[in-house]
Amino acid sequence: MPYPIVVPQMGESVVEGTVGRWLKAEGEPILKDETVVEIMTDKVNVEIPAIEKGTLGKILVPEGTVVSIGTEIGVILGAGESLPSGYGTTAPRPAVAAAIAAPVVADDSGDGDSARRSSPVVRRLLREHNLRLEDIPASGAGGRVTKEDVLNYVRARQTAPSAPRPTTEKPRSVLTVPTAHGEETIERQPLAGVRKLIADHMIKSQQTSAHVMTMDEIDLTLLVSAREARKEDWNHLAGANVTYMPFFVKSAVAALKEFPAVNASIEGNEILYRKYYHIGVAVARDEGLIVPVVRFADQKSIIQIAREIADLSERARREQLVPDEVTGSTFTLTNAGMYGALASTPVINQPEVAILGMHKIQKRPVVRDGQIVIRDMMYVTLSFDHRLIDGHVAVQFLRRLCERLEDPYEQLLTIG
């Protein structure tokens, strides 16, 4: 029977994606679990594997097309099968949920090909490093891929020069126009791929939420002093660089518990008050901003959050995140200070209702007890959705967050 290739669910807030790249041509043979096509969203790229072996019978949706979740974009044919007359001449149609592709791993129940079987440990490593089983040289009995095979492959890939990533972008064009004052050169490039998806997401956010911004400043002198004194110990304990971000995450969670509207969202004519705290942390990468999620941040220590942020950030830059790691956040933090910004007005990450902007820590003269002293100061901003959050709530939320960071004694006691 023909097997449809379907755009899978890629997170609760993702309703569509763009067909990025077909890795197989029509009529080309396909192994079970072999990647057939890539789907791009503004959050993550998803590889769709074949649910059965066969040949790629027909591509129903070309590269660069925006499609909804559940849409059939192609079809796989078994041995000796052919497509019915007229198949694929109409618009792509939503497919049944049962046809949605499985994750990109092979399992022990496959099609009888022992060389392609793998253990749960191997499958976990494949997911973590975004690898395909068929790419790993096998050394195990019967041609099985072992844990050591995967780790050796990862080490070899990390030391080898990386090849340029394939792209579906149209060629750039350059136009030079002579003028009375000299030549004016313009390079024209299509707004496509991840950049196009991010642009659409930003417009949607501005059209959805009634954006308002409030600002405060934090005296981080105590926290800066503590980090400078204990940084080496903390980094050793975490196995990663303990930045200020984990302290902001924990302070945000405490303030969110006091002001639950800031952790909520609007769905139609209902307000959803979320009783859990999944904190998004914006990460810059060449392809555009992405927001990995620290789930149940209220249940984790500073060290645990630091370790998780470091791991998510590194894999985000390598494009190794899976959809579950970039969806479901209830509140987001973005740090423009790492690039020297003193203030900014970040756009709300839908369907959330607020986002915190962190900025550069600066030594500035301030007045304390009638005296001018030098303190480590940071401006923070909160963009919020005025449909749900009133101004006084936003101001109080931001002040409470600042107060916890200005007196970090409790966090320092429970850092591990």
DSSP string for 257-313 = HHSGGGGEEEETTEEEE-SS--EEE-B--TT--B--EETTGGGS-HHHHHHHHHHHH
- Tokens linked to 409: 């004694």
Angle at CA 254, nearest 5°, toward 252 and 257?
105
Angle, in degrees to the nearest 10, between helices 147-159 and 120-129: 20
Distance CA 256, CA 197 (A): 29
DSSP state of 274: -
Tally of residues, the chain: 416
Distance CA 7, CA 197 (A): 16
SS3 state of residue 169: coil
How many CB atoms sit inside 10 A of residue 309's CB?
23
Give yes or no for a contact between 395 and 214, defined as CB atoms under 8 angstroms apart. yes
User: Would you give the distance in Å from CA 204 to the centre of its chain?
Assistant: 18
Angle at CA 105, nearest 5°, toward 312 and 81?
140
- Tokens linked to 67: 């499609």
Q: Which of 217, 242, 240, 239 is nearest to 412 (CA)?
A: 242
φ, ψ dihedrals at 294, nearest 5°: -90, 105
Sequence-distant (6+) residues with CB within 8 A of 228 are: none
- Tokens linked to 200: 């659409």
SS3 state of residue 332: strand
SS3 state of residue 411: helix
Residue with tokens 């959809």: 323
Sheet holding 35-40, edge to edge: 45-49, 35-40, 16-22, 66-68
Catalytically active residues, by annotation: 386, 390
